[in-house]
Structure 1
Amino acid sequence: MSDIPDRWSRADVYPDMWVDPDEDPRNSDGVSPDGELATLRDFLTGYRLTLRMKCEGLDPEQLARRSVPPSTMSLLGLVRHLAEVERDWRNWILPGDPAPKLYGADDGDFEGALAEQELVESAFADLAREQAATDAALAEHTDLGARMGHDGDSVRELWVHRIEEYARHCGHADLLRECTDGRVGQ
């Protein structure tokens, strides 16, 4: 018997999809948003939903499973990492002393991703809170060419960097989920 799960998808219309288009919360009716800022927000929202979808239906052990040893990466670790990253972005743009790390130094976000229900719930709460706080901090800056923060980054660069971070980690989540229970799809 093999420990490798069979590949599967919940989708029937397009079997390489995560879910069928009419069940996909990332699909919206109508045309794409108008304007650069609205487009950036839409892409970020889509990647955030994708990460949550990749984690849905898994128990704490599955979320904490490190599917590609010796890597410390897991789906739960990704959730914790992205909460930490959202906080870091705010630290770059807001004046004053930076907020402390959520999970300690080094790889605490991944190393501390243990198969405990309380840690899972806490990680998702941390992510939602940190996303909302960073969104609020950036909502005040609608001029994408404006420079801000300690390094004088453009607002556009901050949006694109966030999208890139989520997109990259959603790719990791694809592979981690497939190794965990065989479910495939974008």
Structure 2
Amino acid sequence: MNEQVPERWTKAGVHPDMWVDPDDDPRESAGPSPDGELATFQDFLTNYRLTLRMKCDGLSPEQLATRSVPPSTMSLLGLLRHLAEVERDWRNWIAPGEPAPKLYGDPDGDFEGVRPEQSAVDGAIADLEREQAATDAEFAKHPDLAARIGSTQEPARSLWVHRIEEYARHCGHADFLRERLDGRTGQ
């Protein structure tokens, strides 16, 4: 196998194990972490969402659609689509009424249907942003973290933690995918 391996690199100059320098990191905030459990959950979720987007920044549609290693269907573009689908699923779990249909079909349409085209990238980002906003709005109706919500009557706290866990896990995948594409490393 004569695969070209990219050289590892980072944009950070202050801390070479970071993605960017602290002054350029949109996840960094001046001051202490937020007070309260809900504010902490929201802060972690926001930062993981930003991390995923940062791992995708600056790549071509072809790079974003590049799969990890066979037989995996995982790609950065697939992760964007997958997380849009997951956001919709969470909203379906807690919102009353009929569940919204799958965005990309079953099974694994979020990964299998990836195309290396700018319109597919733009569509995935728009889908993710729309689904995040809609799910955030639904969660905002349930500020009591101990309240049991949705059809499964899970505590809101549990669903928040699951959302954070889902993004954290996939940001780990994104780290490896990005490094494989162009060698860029960092948190």
TM-score, normalising length: structure 2: 0.98
Q: Aligned partners of 1:2, 1:125: CA distance in 2, in Å? A: 33
1:68 CA displacement: 1.7
Q: Aligned partners of 1:13, 1:69: CA distance in 2, in Å? A: 36
> Which residue is equivalent to 2:108?
107
Structure 1 runs, 4 residues or longer, greater than 6 Å off = none
3-state secondary structure, aligned to 2:159: helix
> Which residue is equivalent to 1:138?
139
1:114 CA displacement: 1.2
Q: Percent identity?
A: 73
> Which residue is equivalent to 2:162?
161
1:140 CA displacement: 1.1
Q: Aligned partners of 2:89, 2:58: CA distance in 1, in Å? A: 29
Q: Which runs of 5+ in 2 are unaligned?
A: none
> Which residue is equivalent to 2:24?
23
> Which residue is equivalent to 2:42?
41
Partner AA of 2:12 in structure 1 = A
Q: Aligned partners of 1:56, 1:175: CA distance in 2, in Å? A: 15
1:67 CA displacement: 2.3
Partner AA of 2:126 in structure 1 = A
> Which residue is equivalent to 1:62?
63
Q: 1:108-123, aligned counterparts within 5 Å?
A: 108-123=109-124
C-alpha RMSD of matched pairs (Å): 0.8
1:170 CA displacement: 0.1
3-state secondary structure, aligned to 2:20: coil
3-state secondary structure, aligned to 2:26: coil
Q: Which runs of 5+ in 1 are unaligned?
A: none
Q: Aligned partners of 2:11, 2:160: CA distance in 1, in Å? A: 32
3-state secondary structure, aligned to 1:28: coil
Partner AA of 1:129 in structure 2 = R
1:42 CA displacement: 0.1
1:69 CA displacement: 1.8
Q: Deviations over 1:28-83 (max 9, x none)?
A: 01110000000000000000000000000000000000022210000000000000
Partner AA of 1:138 in structure 2 = F
Q: Aligned partners of 1:151, 1:70: CA distance in 2, in Å? A: 34
> Which residue is equivalent to 2:126?
125
Q: Aligned partners of 1:43, 1:86: CA distance in 2, in Å? A: 16
Partner AA of 1:169 in structure 2 = H
1:2 CA displacement: 5.0
Partner AA of 2:68 in structure 1 = S
Q: Aligned partners of 2:69, 2:15: CA distance in 1, in Å? A: 28
1:10 CA displacement: 0.3
